[in-house]
Amino acid sequence: MRDIIFKSIFFFGALFICILFLPSLLMPKKVVLFGGKLLGYWSSICLKAFYSTKIVIKGKENIIINTNFFIACSHQSMFETFYLQTVFNSPIFILKRELLNIPIFGWYLRKIDSISISRNKVTKDNLNFIEKIKLIMEKTKRPIIIFPQATRVAPNEIVPFKKGVGRIYKELNIKCQPVAIDSGKVWPKSGDMKPNKTITISILKPINTGIEEKEFVNLLEKEIYYELGLSN
């Protein structure tokens, strides 16, 4: 019952924020981005209120500054898609195209320069998405964020990282900010929510440019799973 109440209040609150910020779609982008940060804070408020969840951020000193970079983050729950907007400078999400078609929510995603791809399809947009990323990053000076596992996974599940993260690293030729989040032990993809636990957001040391593409993917995968306490 608590899970039902939590999800109802969380999503009702998120919808309220989206409706409240509807006029911002006609305003400067920074207003919409502020609304995104509110959604991040709202997710943490709900988790703390309903499940006494603690949120710990490790490695803030590792955050890349004064240069372009991209974030590669583990993905166990919906939590990181909201909360990371409060940790980094409103990152640009790479997401599946279908999300742009959701009423209201999709409008916001378009407004904040989200980059869409069609899964398991060869499309013109997919082929040109590196150029799209370059243009948007140059225009906004914000980092992009990608979830190399491509979907939410269970806390103890090891999924090989997709090759796309290696292509981004190679083609953009910028530093990567690895992030490991164990949010699935509180807010799993399926099953009951877990109370009285801690979500740890680990911001790992940057991976510099100059590594061969396949070697980079292997290194990224190894470092993130190691931080999550998993061996690969």
Question: Could you read off the pLDDT of 125-140 as tens digits, one per residue?
Answer: 555 778 888 888 888 8
State which H helix or E strand residue 56 sits in: strand 54-58
The answer to whether 128 touches 167, Cβ cutoff 8 Å, is no
Summarised one tens digit per residue, pLDDT across range 137-189 is: 888 889 999 999 988 999 999 999 998 899 999 999 999 999 999 999 999 98
The pLDDT value given to residue 134: 87
Task: Give all strands (DSSP E) within 111-197, no chain letters.
Answer: 115-117, 144-146, 175-181
Report the alpha-carbon distance of residue 203 to residue 180 in Å, rounded. 7
pTM: 0.89
Nearest to 76 by CA among 206, 168, 205, 182: 182
Nearest to 193 by CA among 150, 155, 144: 155
**When comparing pLDDT for 134 and 75, which is higher?**
75
Contacts by residues 135-139 (CB-CB < 8 Å, ≥ 24 positions apart): 136/92, 137/68, 137/92, 137/172, 139/113
Amino acid at 177: Q
Least confident of 108-117, 162-171, 190-199: 108-117
Q: Considering the domain boundaries, does residue 213 fall inside one?
A: yes
Tokens describing residue 216: 């980079």
The pLDDT value given to residue 83: 95
Query: How much helix, strand and coil, in percent to the nearest 5, is found in the chain?
Result: 50, 15, 35
Residue range 61-88: average pLDDT?
94
What CA dihedral angle connects 17, 88, 94 and 92, to 10 degrees?
Answer: 70
Q: Considering the domain boundaries, does residue 49 fall inside one?
A: yes
Nearest to 141 by CA among 87, 66, 29: 66
CATH number at residue 47: 3.40.1130
**When comparing pLDDT for 138 and 220, which is higher?**
220
Q: Considering the domain boundaries, does residue 232 fall inside one?
A: no
Q: How many domains does the chain have?
A: 1
The pLDDT value given to residue 54: 97
Mean pLDDT of the chain: 90
The pLDDT value given to residue 59: 96
Range of the domain at 217: 2-227
Q: Considering the domain boundaries, does residue 58 fall inside one?
A: yes
Q: How confident is the model at residue 123 (pLDDT cuts 50, 70, 90)?
A: very low
Q: Considering the domain boundaries, does residue 136 fall inside one?
A: yes
Report the alpha-carbon distance of residue 136 to residue 172 in Å, rounded. 12
Residue 208 has pLDDT above 80, yes or no: yes
The answer to whether 63 touches 143, Cβ cutoff 8 Å, is no
The answer to whether 201 touches 73, Cβ cutoff 8 Å, is no
